[in-house]
Structures are given as structure tokens and as C-alpha cells.
Chains A and B, each alone.
Chain A
Amino acid sequence: MKLVVNGNTMEVAGVQTVGDLIKELKLAGKGAIVELNEEILSKSEHAEAVLANGDKVEIVHFVGGG
């Protein structure tokens, strides 16, 4: 499946939901906030939000440095 993640087109395999994508990108547990096709999702929606070919995903994750 092809997704546009933070402006970059990427090919992902074995990813079905936003939750899977977060794991795939190693952002699990980092408080990721996700917009799917310009709609913001609450965290409880991540596991169920199903991705489709060509979806536009924006992800912000939190970091601690400063």
C-alpha cells in the first residue's frame, strides 16, 4: 500500500490501521498525534482507523529534549 506520510510517499507492507503505521514507524508510546486525510484522530481511534492506498497521513510525535 502506498501512503503519503508527512509529505513523503512511502510503500508499507502489513500495515492496515493507523495504529499499525505508528508501530511500523517506531513511534508507539511517543504520544503520536495523527491526521488522516486532514482529519485529526483521537488516540482511541488509532487502532480502528483503517488506511487505504493513497491516504495522506500527518504524524506529530513528542520528544523530551530541550
Chain B
Amino acid sequence: MNDRYSRQILFDSIGEEGQELLANKHVLIIGAGALGTGNAEILARAGVGKITIVDRDYVEWSNLQRQQLFSEEDAKYRMPKAVAARERLEQLNSDIEVEGLVMDAGAEELRQLTEFVHLIIDATDNFDTRLLMNDISQETKIPWIYGACVGSYGLSYSIIPGETPCLSCLLEKVPMGGATCDTAGIIAPAVQMVVAHQTAEALKLLTGNKDALRNKLVSFDLWNNHYMAMDVRKLKKQDCPSCGNHPSYPYLNPENQTKTAVLCGRDTVQIRPSEHGERDLEELSGVLSRLGGRVEQNPYLLSYRANEQHRLVFFKDGRVLIHGTKDIAEAKNLYYSLIG
């Protein structure tokens, strides 16, 4: 036995006992982008016994500025993120078990993945998956740690079933059309700050230091020098459909999930969000125009040429057609990168 973990063991609140606990824990990380790779590296180095990391995407050059487990080789060969992450994590710590799964985590997949898991880390890029995760966490009583960032802004909250409000209590409904890293950019320190908050909470939970949890919604803007920690306990709703007294876990119901379909013979994927809110085409037009690519609009829809291959058509009722692909994962990547 080498002294790999000696400095962490010296830290009073962890100690030998905490280290032992970590070695017997299994953490599920949903997403292997900026937050996913950041969380995975810290937890792997810390000696979490098993880490499962899930992602449907592959590595691109635009990821390397902040997605810390990936190399130029990975971008060159378009390695699936889950595979590239696993390989790097295995180099960092061969004592632990690492599983990298290339898949799109829907309700069924998440249900299977959470078996024997102690903690779920949110490293996704969209609210649809987060709300699924939120319901599964409530159903299985496995805590999860929300984290998100864009630009120089980020936030995090630890959701402990039966104790804290859940994401549904805080959001009430699915946000539509927010800024994303692909539309508003992102600086690496904002990622690292969210990762620091998520992994600190993870270490507390996994080493039996629940009393040390923050219990606050933390947010910051590193460029505008603003930091905040808000006590949101009052927002827990007794009638919340996800965590209230009579939960129905609405996001696990297929009717409330974002639906995708390949339109036969048209080289097109349709994405239909579950929420029936109206899409603000004016706002979207502004955001997409700034990215370059041609935006055309009539009162009913907006057409955007994202690149040579792909054209997206956004309808007012929320539906989006992604022309130029029959691949649902590819279509979802493009969709969430622009819409969030």
C-alpha cells in the first residue's frame, strides 16, 4: 500500500475511516463534458471505489479548452467521451473501477444505472435529463448534486431525498430556451468552481459527513465578482409531484418526456419537448444570428443552418426538425447545444 491518499486521510473530517468508506462507494456521473470530466477526475483521484460515467457524444476540438480528461488525440479520432474519459481515469487511478458507457441516458437507462449507486452527479447539458434524474433520485432515495454553468456564471445544489427541496420545487417548470455553452460561451474557471462545489459535497456525503453539507443553493459570476448562497429550504413544496407527500414522478411518465422520432426517408429527426410552452422565435433569432449561419423566419417557424450538413427548423409550438441526420443522438447533441 502506497501513501496515495495520505494527505486526504490527514484531513480530519475524512481520516482513515472516511477513506475506507470512499473505497466502497459507487458514484454515477451523467455526462462527460466539462462538469463530468472535472468531477470524475477529482473523485477518481480521491479513491471513490467505483465510478460510472455516461455520455452520448464524442470529443471535438472545441471541448479541449475545458474538458480536462481529453487530449488532442481524442479530438482527432472523435473518441466517444465516455471511452476517452474511462481510459484517462484508469491512468490516474488503477485502484478503482471505472465504467464508461456510450449511451443516451433516458428514463429506462437511468433506472438500471442507479442500481447499487450511492450518489448521482449531474453533469448534463439539459433540463430534460436533470428532471428525469430528479424523479429517479426521489423514487430510489439516492441523492444527486445539480451543477450547471454558462459564460462566467455557475450554480450548484445538493438534493437529498426526504430532506431538501428537489429540483422540481425550485424550478416549477422546465426552463425553455436558456443560454448554453454553445451559444453564450464558457470559461474554464466557471466549470472548475461548480466542480469544486459538487465534489466537496460529494466527499461529505460519501464519507458520512452529512452534517457538513452546505444546504444552500450556491451561485456565482466570476467575471462580475458576485457570489451568493441562498437558503431555499422554504421552497420545498408539500404538494410537489416529484418529492411531495403524494409523488407521481411526472418526468418518468413517457407522456411528459421529450420525444424524438426519425422522419422516414427525409434524413430528419423531430424533437418534441414535453412542455407545451410557446417558443420565443424572436429571442431565438437574436441568439442564433450572433452565432453566424443563416437564420430565416416567418411568423410560424424559424430555420437555422447550423453547418453544411445540418439545418434546424424551430416551430412556435416547441417542435424542432433537424434536417441532415437520421441519428437521434447526433440530433439531440445539436438541439441541446443550442437550446439547453
Contacts and interface: CB of A to CB of B under 8 A. Distances in A.
Interface in A32-54: 33, 35, 40, 42-43
A35 B230 contact: yes
Contacts of B33: 66
A63 B148 contact: yes
A7 to B, nearest CB: 5
B190 to A, nearest CB: 9
A63 B219 CA distance: 11
Contacts of A40: 230-232, 234-235
Interface of B: 31, 33-36, 122-127, 130, 147-150, 153-155, 170-173, 175-181, 184, 186, 194, 217, 219, 221, 224, 226, 228, 230-232, 234-235, 277, 336, 340
Interface SS, A side: loop
A64 B340 CA distance: 5
B127 A64 contact: yes
A63 B277 contact: no
Contacts of B224: 8
Nearest to B183: A65
Interface string A53-66: 00000101011111
A6 interface: yes
A20 to B, nearest CB: 18
B230 A66 contact: no
Contacts of A63: 148-150, 153-155, 178-180, 340
Contacts, number: 90
A65 B175 contact: no
Contacts of B36: 66
B31 A66 contact: yes
A40 B169 CA distance: 14
A65 B124 CA distance: 7
Interface in A5-31: 6-8, 29-31
Contact of A65 (B172, B173, B180): B180
A60 B175 CA distance: 13
A60 B228 contact: yes
B186 to A, nearest CB: 6
